[in-house]
A and B are shown apart, each in its own frame.
Chain A
Amino acid sequence: MTPRRRNWMLLGAAVLIFAVVFAWRLLFLPSALAFAGGHQVDLSQYQGASITGVPAELANADPVTNGKYLAEATDCAACHTAKGGKPFAGGRPFKLPFGTIYTPNITPDRETGIGAWTNAEFLRAVHKGIGRAGERLYPAFPYASYTLLTDADVLAIRGYLSTVPAVRQENMPNSFGFPFNQRWLMAIWGTFFNPNTRFRPVAERSAQWNRGAYLVEAAGHCGECHTPRTLMQAMNTRRKFAGGQAEGWNAYNITGDRLSGIGAWSPTDLASYLAKGHALGRGVASGPMAEAVALSTSRMTPTDIAAMVTYLRTIPPVSSKASPAMAGPAPAVASAGPSDNPGGKRLFEGACASCHAWSGRGAVTPDQQLTGNRAVNDASAANVAMMILNGIGSPEHSGAFMPSFRAAYSDEEIASVANYVTARFGAKPSRVSAADVRKMREE
């Protein structure tokens, strides 16, 4: 063997090893609770109080109430209700990189909904991502998380869903092109990325922590948005909760990292955010998170919120670039802000300052505070621009409200005001362009 040839072979071997390791890392990811160490045991073997099902407050409630509580904890309504549509009748579009998918009707209508499904079929869909006709479901449906739910809880949800008004509404076909329209590929995906195991508590941890883990990982499926995705579109649990994306919005780092995560948040901050969508000086849940709060976390009992907080505070810190350190207070006088963006300033003074104030501390209610808000300190300004485009809430309902400025303000204008806001109130000025805004409009 000539040295030359040996070199080639060595190189080839190195490449091969690298590829294998790479593939291995891509295909085999740590489980959701792997970070916690200890021993994961079967639910039946866990010694503490009950971890699944409804919280103690609802112990004596009727099955429908319980099912409803669980359906809220799993936030079925958000995805399975179209804007302005009937609850659970589906039809809400999700734009994915390879096309648009529409959520199906899960009302009890026998033809277009799931009224005719057997319990086994329902369980199979939720746990394994397999549809009634055996077709593979796309993981936009978070079965990789829901698979952790117990059979009893899934069937309790089913029981509740069978009591909601049946709506006759045909499902909309998705718009995927080849090869993404090949549903069987999802079977391979599932083999690797859907563990298809029920929740296994960590023996060494408290019942409260395990309850929190069940709610966050299984029901709340938080990781689906907050965990970055691998090339294979699986949740990259090696960077668990380090931040991801959802419908054009940034889903922020919720690890224990003090700088880029929520390590510096007090338990009260976290509880308030989950229960009310807002934590003083931390920001307001917006976009998909606002929906998650409105339809799910805000409806949970204080003990369950506390359990989620307990669990979330144990997520190991992972630092991410998207979230730099928060800027401190902003100047209260109008003239003191960034001077290179007069257009942005003008829009801010007309449409924004009445609520947010020149200091960014909120002029009327605390939830209007911009300083200390993660979105405002995110130099991509994605969530700021999305918020300006989409607004939040409605004027007659309590809770955060901001109108949508989409209709009357140009791409250039929205970009300039978003850049003004990050420059004035955030850690680093953003450089959102009109073209970026044009794309965001389509989300």
Chain B
Amino acid sequence: MVSMRVNDEMTEVAVDADTPLLWVLRDLLGMTGTKFGCGIAQCGACTVHLDGVAVRSCRLPVGEVGDRAVRTIEGVGSTPVGARVQQAWLDLDVIQCGYCQSGQIMAAAALLAANPEPDDADIDAAMAGNICRCGTYVRIRDGIKRAAQHG
């Protein structure tokens, strides 16, 4: 039995502690907003926040979460930065297929929370780990800048 705080609520799951958080969220808690892309921390689709820091949930054994707060795409809108990023994404029509975008939004929100005025190099450093096969990079960059301005 593993207990943890997800989007401000305590949850308990009966699962092997080795299981990556990603699969606990998706398969056991039914929170399918967090996506599986590669399973090896190379694509960023599975990004969630652990105490506000962007983390690849596909490589994080659920047993290691401990008392750190987990936030997912389903709950990021309740943080001011998260809501701003979501709005910027809609304003600029960033999204295409959208499959990578949970991860992109989580990474962008974590970036802006830590660095409210990122420049291009900061954005690259924080976002290059998130692959978008549809190629929405131009707009992701613009979206982050827009969300920063509206902060």
Contacts and interface: CB of A to CB of B under 8 A. Distances in A.
**Direct contact, A vs B (beta carbon within 8 Å):** yes
Interface of A: 333-335, 346, 349-351, 353-355, 358, 363-365, 395, 398, 401, 403
Interface in B41-85: 41-42, 44, 53, 55-56, 59-61, 64
Interface residues on B, range: 20 to 34
A354 B56 CA distance: 7
B122 interface: yes
Contacts of B42: 351, 354, 403
B31 to A, nearest CB: 19
21 contacts: A333-B115, A334-B121, A334-B122, A334-B125, A335-B121, A335-B122, A349-B124, A349-B125, A354-B44, A355-B41, A355-B56, A355-B59, A358-B125, A364-B41, A364-B55, A364-B60, A365-B59, A365-B61, A401-B40, A403-B40, A403-B42
B125 A395 contact: no
B129 interface: yes
Nearest to A352: B129
B121 A364 contact: no
B129 A365 contact: no
Contact of A364 (B18, B56, B122, B128): B56
Contact of B128 (A346, A355, A363, A365): A346
Given A334-B125, A346-B128, A398-B61, 4 more contacts: A350-B128, A354-B129, A364-B55, A403-B40
A64 B41 CA distance: 41
B128 A349 contact: yes
A350 B42 CA distance: 8
Looking at A333, A350, A354, A395, which has the most chain B CB atoms within 10 Å of its CB? A354
A364 B59 contact: yes
Q: Give 9 nearest A-B pairs by CB, closest first.
A: A334-B125, A354-B129, A350-B128, A349-B128, A354-B41, A349-B125, A364-B59, A355-B41, A364-B60
A395 B43 CA distance: 14
Contacts of A364: 41, 55-56, 59-60
B40 A395 contact: yes
B98 to A, nearest CB: 21
Nearest to A347: B128
Contacts of A350: 128-129
A177 to B, nearest CB: 42
B116 interface: no
B132 to A, nearest CB: 13
B126 interface: yes
B39 interface: yes
A363 B55 contact: yes
A333 B118 CA distance: 11
A307 B60 CA distance: 33
Q: Output the residue of B40, B61, B128 with the most chain A CB within 10 A.
A: B128
A333 B125 CA distance: 9
Contacts of A333: 115
Most buried by B among A349, A351, A401: A349
A434 to B, nearest CB: 22
Contact of A398 (B18, B39, B53, B129): B18
A355 B39 CA distance: 12
Contacts of B55: 363-364
Interface string B7-46: 0000000000010000000000000000000011110100
A355 to B, nearest CB: 5
> Which residue among B41, B56, B115, B121 has the maximum number of chain A CB atoms within 10 Å of its CB?
B41
A395 B58 CA distance: 10
A167 B68 CA distance: 50
Contacts of A353: 125, 128-129
Contacts of A401: 40, 59
Nearest to A365: B64
Nearest to B121: A335
A346 B128 CA distance: 8
Nearest to B50: A364
A84 B115 CA distance: 47
Contacts of B125: 334-335, 349, 353, 358
Contacts of A354: 41-42, 44, 56, 129
A89 B104 CA distance: 48
A353 B44 CA distance: 11
A160 B115 CA distance: 60
A334 B126 contact: yes
A358 B110 CA distance: 14
B52 to A, nearest CB: 13
Contacts of A398: 18, 61
A358 B40 CA distance: 18
Interface string B112-135: 000100000110111011000000
Nearest to A354: B129
Contacts of B39: 395
A358 B122 CA distance: 11
Contacts of A335: 121-122, 125
B60 A365 contact: yes
A363 B96 CA distance: 28
A365 B50 CA distance: 12
A281 B71 CA distance: 27
B64 to A, nearest CB: 6
A331 to B, nearest CB: 12
B101 to A, nearest CB: 17
Contacts of B18: 398
Contacts of B64: 365
